[in-house]
Amino acid sequence: MPLTLLLGGAGSGKSSLAVRRAAAWEGPVLVVATAEAGDEEMAARIERHRAARPEAWRTVEEPLDLRGALGSAADEAFVIVDCLTLWTANALEAGWSDEETVAAAAETAGLAAARRSPTLVVSNEVGLGLVPQAPLGRRYRDVHARVNALFAAAAGQAYLVIAGRTLELS
């Protein structure tokens, strides 16, 4: 089964679409969540995402080790990784170099693409806005663009999600 990448802006409906697609799967579902609750607002966001998923689904909260989380997935499990946007930020905040982050993304994308059951990865497209004013913002945007490109190259399918609608990327 191919790796699928869902790209879009914040609030575009990517996570909801991922949940709907996984809900149609007849086997187990694993959600790999990369968000960390650094404040009350983020904790509320995380709780809304949790509430949108069926209770029977297994969730692994893993801000950095996507390879390990994917490696722990049962062969027959549909895996949702939500999301690469926060994973990239987590990696940079943890002190990973740009090349370490990109290398980990490449390895993870390959692992996800090689799975027997579907893997659906959610990520924000951060390159459509203004060039960030701060060096850290530009670094993040550039590294995250490389991460997205690696996953898109490994994916059998990639979609741009806008207002809950999809546009297939070829």
Clarify whether 49 is annotated catalytic: yes
From CA 88, how far away is CA 84, in angstroms rounded? 6
The torsion region of residue 164 among left (phi > 0), alpha (psi -120 to 50) and beta comes to left
Return the number of other C-beta atoms located less than 10 Å from residue 87's C-beta.
28
Angle 135-154/84-93 helices, nearest 10 degrees? 130
Strands (E), 51-94: 58-61, 78-82
49, 123, 140, 166: the catalytic one is: 49
Look up residue 126 and give its two tokens: 């951060």
Residues acting as catalytic residues: 49
